Amino acid sequence: MRQMLNTLFVTTESAYLSLENENVVVSDGDKAVAKVPLRSIESILCFSYKGASPALLGKCCEFGVSVSFYSPRGRYLCSILGESNRNVLLRRKQFVLADDASACSSIAASFVIGKIYNSRWVLERATRDHALQVNVERLKRQSSILASALKEIKNCDNAESVRGIEGQAAKTYFYAFDDLILNNKDDFYFERRTRRPPQDRMNALLSFVYVLLSGDCKAALQGVGLDPYVGFLHADRPGRASLSLDLVEELRPALADRFAISLVNTKAISPNQFEVRENGGVYLNDAGRKVVLAAWQKRRNEQITHPFLREKIPWGMVPYVQALLLARYIRGDIDAYPPFFWK
């Protein structure tokens, strides 16, 4: 499988990125603080407000290095990726399928089957690994409701009911989510999902991790030539990267939720690495973001065996491989889109 190279995270708010020969130079004020060869990285995630030089961006496109910009607080702004979207037949087929109700429901079902299956395993893993600490009965009950949702989806023939089951399953899953938090319960707790803004630390952490995962998914889809804005599970809405959201769904439990939970349970992240704003919104602070990004990069390098391809790949390649499998399904090489089943 393709080699995964490093990601360069730039978290200093006032950093500016520029090009020197084939290196990216990170400077803060007049001082160059880092110099990294472009050939050694595959993406740059930039959380500074100063941005990057056009010359660097041009070179990145040439080298196939994707550059994503976020606000210093972690809001996604944009990505730049070279001319990879030349596969016009793939995109045309994607659009045709997105207009075809039965194709939509079949692909949407795959995403949701993946999501429910993986959600269920997150709960099951907790009962297995922490039987003495968690409410096993509640987790088992929620897990079995999720199992019946899987059954239900098999008899589903339209995307609307797939979405309905997905909504119910998400509620079922999050109902037991607080049980997964084992440490610092006074500061880390979960009642329900809040996003705009996140109203507690756990939600703040989840939101930030989802942003990272979404960025990976979007770059992966673009990288294989799919249009991230035309989805199957999520309907078109101007400005919404629906296909990215589709792909995020199945990867959320295994790649994001478990990651966030383990940061809390291992005490890698601490309550004082968050800040509360006037509007009641809770966000990671500078130190917190650094912890999460470093751990994220480490997690991305961990090896797993892809369940469908049966090939060893780093975690970080999962969105890319799934995007590739989706493209291969859309081009007619396989008879269904196989979601990523985590175990």
Partner 1 sequence: MNMLSEDDSLSVRSTVRPVEYPEDDWLALSGVQHYEFCKRQWALIHIEQLWTDNARTVAGDLEHKRAHDYSASEKRGDTLILRDLRVFSKMLGVVGDCDIVEFQASEDGVQLHGRKGKWLPYPVEYKYGTSKTNNADRLQLCGQAMCLEEMLSCHIDEGALFYQRTKRRERVEFSEELRAQVVNAFADMHELFQRGYTPTVKNQRGCSNCSLKDLCLPELMKAKTQSARAYIDSIVAGALEEDLR
Q: For binding to partner 1 (CB under 8 A), which residues are involved?
A: 1-2, 86-90, 110, 113, 117, 120, 143-144, 147, 150-151, 154, 224-225, 307-311, 324-325, 328-329, 331-339, 341
- C-alpha 262/C-alpha 183 separation (Å) is 10
CB of residue 324 vs partner 1: minimum separation in angstroms?
A: 7
Q: Which CB, 319 or 338, lies closer to partner 1?
A: 338
- C-alpha 314/C-alpha 321 separation (Å) is 10
Q: Which CB, 73 or 141, lies closer to partner 1?
A: 141
Q: Which CB, 55 or 334, lies closer to partner 1?
A: 334
Structure tokens at 188: 């880390």
Counting every residue, how long is the chain? 343
Q: Are 326 and 247 in contact (CB under 8 A)?
A: yes
Q: Are 19 and 59 in contact (CB under 8 A)?
A: yes
Q: Which CB, 25 or 147, lies closer to partner 1?
A: 147
Q: Are 43 and 8 in contact (CB under 8 A)?
A: yes
CB of residue 2 vs partner 1: minimum separation in angstroms?
A: 4
- C-alpha 220/C-alpha 246 separation (Å) is 13
Strands 282-284 and 274-276: antiparallel
CB of residue 282 vs partner 1: minimum separation in angstroms?
A: 35
CB of residue 79 vs partner 1: minimum separation in angstroms?
A: 19
CB of residue 321 vs partner 1: minimum separation in angstroms?
A: 9
Q: Chain-centre distance of CA 272, in angstroms?
A: 25
Please name which of 195, 205, 197 lies closest in space to residue 281, comparing C-alpha atoms. Answer: 197
Q: Which CB, 102 or 144, lies closer to partner 1?
A: 144
Q: Which CB, 198 or 253, lies closer to partner 1?
A: 253
CB of residue 114 vs partner 1: minimum separation in angstroms?
A: 9
CB of residue 327 vs partner 1: minimum separation in angstroms?
A: 9
Q: Which CB, 69 or 337, lies closer to partner 1?
A: 337
Q: How many CB atoms sit inside 10 A of residue 195's CB?
A: 11
- C-alpha 218/C-alpha 213 separation (Å) is 9
Q: Are 340 and 318 in contact (CB under 8 A)?
A: yes
Q: Which CB, 83 or 186, lies closer to partner 1?
A: 83
Burial code (b: 16+ CB inside 10 Å, e: under 16) for 36-53 equals: eebeebbbbbbbbeebbe
CB of residue 231 vs partner 1: minimum separation in angstroms?
A: 19
- C-alpha 143/C-alpha 222 separation (Å) is 34
CB of residue 124 vs partner 1: minimum separation in angstroms?
A: 9
Q: Which CB, 13 or 124, lies closer to partner 1?
A: 124
CA angle 190, 209, 153 (to 5 degrees): 75
Q: Classify the phi-psi angles of 237: left when phi > 0, otherwise alpha if psi is within -120 to 50, otherwise beta.
A: beta
